[in-house]
Amino acid sequence: MTAHRRVDVLVVGAGPAGLAAAARLAAAGAGRVEVLERDAQAGGVPRHCAHGGFGTWVRRLTGPQYARLLAEGAAHTGAVLRTGVTVLDWAGPRTLTTVGPQGPETIEAEAVVLATGSRERPRAARLVPGTRPAGVYTGGELQQAVHLFGQPIGTRAVVVGAQRVSYSAADTLRTAGVAVVALLTDQPRAQAPLLRAQSARLGHRVPLLTDTTVTELLGHGRLSGVRLRHRDGRTATLPCDTVVFTGDFVPENELARRAGITLDGSPHTSRPGVFAVGAVLHPGQRARAASWAGAEAGGAVLEWLAGEEWPTDGAA
């Protein structure tokens, strides 16, 4: 049987954006603020990024440390974090259907905050031709396989992309005992900060192939190599058993799409009482920016709960 409940604010997604929004709302006395997270633990993407790069200059944190800090902060203010709960669809303008350890539920709220994040475009969506062998990851999948599940990865890897996340993926591969054969990008230079790119090239002797794209994956059962093409027409085959597609983020906006809700980059969506925040609005946004945006969106939700009118110049 499907249970039906009412809450004041329902936040979908317990990443930096959702947790910061929930913390602000609960601290301001917004009533029952409930955060639903489909993963087994709160924290979002940083939870499985065991590398540094989170926190601030004065307080440097790894992803899991940062995730824990935000989750504890939200819980401390009185927000209710419910993990293992997936939001499936809408049953009304601000009513969501969910499934979790307690079975199916419909939950109605005065305000809904979509903080569902973004993900890297996988190989299939990048339309890379070739076979469908094992050994093909996105950066996020790699981080989870290594840091959450301790799975063996391979021996020789190619990283597609030269953004910050690409260099983080290269670090993770090395941690897992995998040799990084090369990073490659279709751009003329790395998009990561110069120091980051140089330390990989000079410190770890990982070549960066610029103006280069993957044109085919090779191998049956297991990846045996990738075929590459340089912008000037030259081609080559790089033997490897692992390839990691990094960056090229797309929003996790399925819930908004299902309801025909338009997101225009501001926390106010086209549906009154439904807000969006974090990487679902700005795919690939840094974690700290997502949590700042979450706290700010919390302010917009408080205004709505206090009876302020929905802006008409938001998403149409």
Q: Return the number of the residue (167 or 304) whose C-beta is nearest ligand FAD.
A: 167
By CB under 6 A, is residue 251 in contact with ligand FAD?
A: no
d(CA 120, CA 141): 9
Q: Which of residues 137-166 bind ligand FAD (CB under 6 A)?
A: 139-140, 143, 165
Listed in sequence order, the residues at least 6 apart from 28 whose beta carbon sits closer than 8 Å to its beta carbon are: 298, 302
Q: Return the number of the residue (53 or 298) whose C-beta is nearest ligand FAD.
A: 53
By CB under 6 A, is residue 54 in contact with ligand FAD?
A: yes
Name the segment binding ligand FAD (CB under 6 A); options: 110-118, 178-186, 211-219, 299-307.
110-118
Provide φ and ψ at 284, rounded to 5°: 85, 0
By CB under 6 A, is residue 12 in contact with ligand FAD?
A: yes
By CB under 6 A, is residue 68 in contact with ligand FAD?
A: no
Q: Which of residues 211-250 bind ligand FAD (CB under 6 A)?
A: none
Nearest to 238 by CA among 275, 268, 213: 213
Smallest gap from residue 200 Cβ to ligand FAD (A): 14
What does DSSP say about strands 103-114 and 212-218: parallel, antiparallel, or unpaired?
unpaired
77: left (phi over 0), alpha (psi -120 to 50) or beta: alpha
Q: How far is CA 204 from CA 50, 157, 200, 286, in A?
A: 19, 14, 5, 25
Buried b (16+ CB within 10 A) or exposed e, 90-108: beeebbbbbebeeeebbbb
Residue from 278, 298, 301, 304 binding ligand FAD (CB under 6 A): 278
User: Measured in whole angstroms, how far is the alpha carbon of residue 190 from the centre of its chain?
Assistant: 21
Contact string (CB under 6 A) for ligand FAD, positions 171-200, x = contact? ------------------------------
- Given the rule CB under 6 A, which residues bind ligand FAD? 12-18, 36-39, 44-46, 49, 53-54, 86-87, 115-117, 120, 139-140, 143, 165, 168, 252, 255, 278-279, 284-288, 290
